[in-house]
Amino acid sequence: MLWSKQKNGQIKFADYDRIGGVIGAIGRRADKMIEDLPDWQKSLAERVFVKLAAARSGVIDTRLVASKDAFTDDEWKLVNTLANEENCLLVVNQSDHASQATAEIVHEALLDNWDRLQRWLERNRTLLTWQS
């Protein structure tokens, strides 16, 4: 991890560059989170992320806000797992009514820089374009 390389509160550029900077770190961290999921949740992860993205202008993807109702119970459990303090890939916004909760991808940088997510979105491009 990058923070283990710091000395006196500073990180050398070479160490930062070695992990691919912020862009490389984002994708690797997200991959690790998915790989650490139980097998039954790994298969749900693609469906969850596809529900949280939209295709715009052909291939430019953007985040969507999806209501809890858009997910199965198992998918919603995964949404909450991916939104917890440890993972932080998604954001869950709670309202006074549990059924009105929403979820979204935490940052556009995941759409642009996470290879696995880009593969999932490409594999589902027809569906995403149709939904938009």
Locate tokens 């979204």: which residue? 104
CA distances from 45 to 17, 59, 74, 96 (A): 29, 21, 10, 27
Per-residue confidence at 61, pLDDT binned at 50, 70, 90? confident
Q: Residues near 40 by Cβ (< 8 Å), separated by ≥ 6?
A: 74
Could you tell me which residues are beta bridge partners of residue 54?
62
DSSP assignments along 52-74, one per residue: TEEEETTTEEEE--EEGGGS-HH
Higher pLDDT, 73 or 5: 73
Q: Kindly report the pTM of this predicted structure.
A: 0.77
Per-residue confidence at 19, pLDDT binned at 50, 70, 90? low
Segment 21-54, tens digit of pLDDT: 666 778 888 999 999 999 999 989 999 999 998 8
